């Protein structure tokens, strides 16, 4: 179970792209070996990481959305809150059942289908929004510059 990063997953915002890639790197280094069974501390370390990741990374992403007036912000924030609940559930399951194969499968699903899907669909939209806004600003500036030139003639 390896998480394969490719540059097609970049949303075009370097700070966020680095954090996304960091998730893949971490999972490949620490979670992939757990497929064959894991100690409690190893799974705990992964859940700790996901918890911190969903706090810090989501906060950064939400800040960027607010700053860029992203129209899908409240929906996106809801998705983030949902993932935090998933992570709390993983922790509760670890406390209750220990590092079972079921829990490992749940983590794999949470990251593989939730986070990776989220990056490829929802986060991608933020990237597009920022690029569009940038293009719009550039066009506006070019128009202003052209008008100024015309007024000077």
Looking at 8-16, 94-102, 122-130, 134-142, which segment touches Fe ion (CB under 5 A)? 122-130
Q: How far apart are CA 94 and CA 69, in angstroms?
A: 39
Smaller CB separation from Fe ion, 31 or 70? 70
Q: Check: CB of residue 127 under 8 Å from CB of residue 24.
A: no
Give me the least distance between CB of 151 and Fe ion, in Å please.
Answer: 44
Looking at 10-18, 32-40, 60-68, 81-89, which segment touches Fe ion (CB under 5 A)? 60-68
Smaller CB separation from Fe ion, 74 or 148? 74
Q: Is 123 an interacting residue with respect to Fe ion (CB under 5 A)?
A: yes
Smaller CB separation from Fe ion, 17 or 61? 61
Q: What letters, b where the CB count within 10 A reaches 16 and e where it falls short, cover 112-128?
A: eeebbebbeebbbbbbe
Could you write out the DSSP letters of every residue in 12-60? S-HHHHHHHHHHHHHIIIIIGGGGG---HHHHHHHHHHHHHHHHHHHHH
Q: How far apart are CA 153 and CA 85, in angstroms?
A: 62
Q: How far apart are CA 85 and CA 51, in angstroms?
A: 10
Which of 16, 24, 61, 64 forms a contact with Fe ion (CB under 5 A)?
A: 61
Looking at 25-33, 48-56, 58-66, 98-106, which segment touches Fe ion (CB under 5 A)? 58-66
Smaller CB separation from Fe ion, 34 or 116? 116
Residues near Fe ion (CB under 5 A) = 61, 123
């Amino acid at each position: 179970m390896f998480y394969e990063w490719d540059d097609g997953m970049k949303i075009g915002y370097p700070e966020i792209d680095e954090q996304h890639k960091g998730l893949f790197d971490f999972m490949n280094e620490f979670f992939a070996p757990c497929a064959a069974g894991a100690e409690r501390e190893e799974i705990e370390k992964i859940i700790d990481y996901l918890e911190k990741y969903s706090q810090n990374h989501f906060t950064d992403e939400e800040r960027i959305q607010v700053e860029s007036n992203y129209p899908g912000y409240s929906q996106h924030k809801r998705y983030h809150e949902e993932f935090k609940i998933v992570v709390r559930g993983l922790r509760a399951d670890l406390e209750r059942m220990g590092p079972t194969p079921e829990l490992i499968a749940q983590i794999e699903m949470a990251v593989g289908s939730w986070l990776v899907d989220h990056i490829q669909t929802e986060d991608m939209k933020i990237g597009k929004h920022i690029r569009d806004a940038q293009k719009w600003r550039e066009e506006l500036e070019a128009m202003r510059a052209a008008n100024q030139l015309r007024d000077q003639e």
